[in-house]
Amino acid sequence: MPEITQELGQIGMEVYMRLLSVIVPCYNEEENVRDFYDELFKNAAFFQQKELEVEVLYIDDGSKDKTAQEVRKLHEEDNRVRLVSFSRNFGKEAAIYAGLQKCKGDLAVLMDADLQDPPSLLPEMYAYIEQGYDSVATRRVTRKGEPVLRSFFARMFYKLMNRISRTEIVDGARDYRLMTRQVVDAILSMTEYNRFTKGIFGWVGYETKWLEYENVERRKGETKWSFWKLFLYSLEGIMAFSTVPLTVASLMGVLFCLLAFILIIFTIVRKIVFGDPTSGWPSLVCIILLVSGVQLFCLGIVGQYLSKTYMEVKNRPVYLVKEEID
């Protein structure tokens, strides 16, 4: 008995430091790598006070500039900095997935390299984790500094998405999110190839606190998202988290069948009552065009889902690593 008490005592004496993993996806961010590091460690006093160890995990998503080199330099100065380099550009979703897989922390936070996710928000976020929340997410309430048309379409997308999907996707939600190991593991358990992180966060659930802040403009460099890229990304989101378009396609089919049926009866009745004047072929052409258009549209929707399924079934890796520095 005395032995056990002694042992327990020793465990109790040990100071348990929690490890916070900061995951930073980078694509051509050479100018921001160091700025981000400096800005993050302005919270050094806070990390110390809360007994948080920190690791900064830069995911170099196949950058064509000196991003990896910059991170290597930082690693030489501070071994809390880690690097995972991809063999090519796999996209931010892949970078997030890799970061979550490779991070060792009890807590993990996702942040953009361009400082649009202010590190100064971390103490407030951490306070909510201490209160017992599993994850603390952020959303921007303004879209200041963004083209008007882009904001408009973004709003439309979120409205539509929340109507046709059972997974809640919050308007203005950023990927800036602090979460516990449990949530990280939950996200990692979703091994799908077509990753739409905003949907995945909603899908896994858990107690989430939302913090709001004003949009911050990117520090240096340029955004990697063109309007067209964002548009395709939104389609991806819809397909990953909703099958409503397929239902719409079937409903349209049913509707057109009904319409055709009514027209057939109408034509037969007209023939019996008025004889058969050969008229109306222009309208016939219009109808054929319309209906074949709708058919192609619906086939297209089915094709999109099929192509997603095809990619899933291939079971390709989400990313490939070229270099890793621990």
User: Among residues 124 and 146, whose Cβ is nearest to Mg ion?
Assistant: 146
Asked whether position 139 contacts ligand UDP by CB under 6 A, the answer is: no
Asked whether position 112 contacts ligand UDP by CB under 6 A, the answer is: yes
Interface with Mg ion (CB under 5 A), residue from 143, 181, 218, 219: 218
Token readout for 253 is 């089919």
Q: What are phi and psi of 116, to 5 degrees?
A: -80, -15
Q: How far apart are CA 97 and CA 107, in angstroms?
A: 15
Q: How many CA atoms lie within 13 A of 157 on its CB side?
A: 25
Asked whether position 72 contacts ligand UDP by CB under 6 A, the answer is: no
Asked whether position 114 contacts Mg ion by CB under 5 A, the answer is: yes
Pairing of strands 208-213, 321-325: unpaired
Which DSSP state fits 17?
P
Asked whether position 215 contacts Mg ion by CB under 5 A, the answer is: no
Burial class of residue 16 (count of CB atoms within 10 Å of its CB; 0-12, 13-18, 19+): exposed
Q: How far apart are CA 58 and CA 173, in angstroms?
A: 22
CB of 24 to ligand UDP, least distance (A): 7
Selection from Mg ion, ligand UDP, none that 30 binds (CB < 5 to 8 A by kind) is none
Instruction: Name the residue among 259, 184, 139, 161 with its Cα closest to residue 23.
Output: 184
User: Among residues 139 and 218, whose Cβ is nearest to Mg ion?
Assistant: 218
Selection from ligand UDP, Mg ion, none that 172 binds (CB < 5 to 8 A by kind) is none
Selection from Mg ion, ligand UDP, none that 215 binds (CB < 5 to 8 A by kind) is none
Instruction: Name the residue among 323, 319, 324, 314 with its Cα closest to residue 98.
Output: 319
Strand, coil or helix: 88: coil
Interface with ligand UDP (CB under 6 A), residue from 80, 139, 143, 218: 218
Asked whether position 70 contacts ligand UDP by CB under 6 A, the answer is: no
Within residues 33-62, the interface with ligand UDP by CB under 6 A covers 61
Burial class of residue 132 (count of CB atoms within 10 Å of its CB; 0-12, 13-18, 19+): exposed
Selection from Mg ion, ligand UDP, none that 91 binds (CB < 5 to 8 A by kind) is ligand UDP
Stretch that binds ligand UDP, among 101-109, 164-172, 223-231, 311-319 (CB under 6 A): 223-231
User: Among residues 147 and 293, whose Cβ is nearest to ligand UDP?
Assistant: 147
**313: enclosing H helix or E strand:** helix 281-314
Residues of this chain that interact with Mg ion (CB under 5 A) are 112, 114, 116, 218
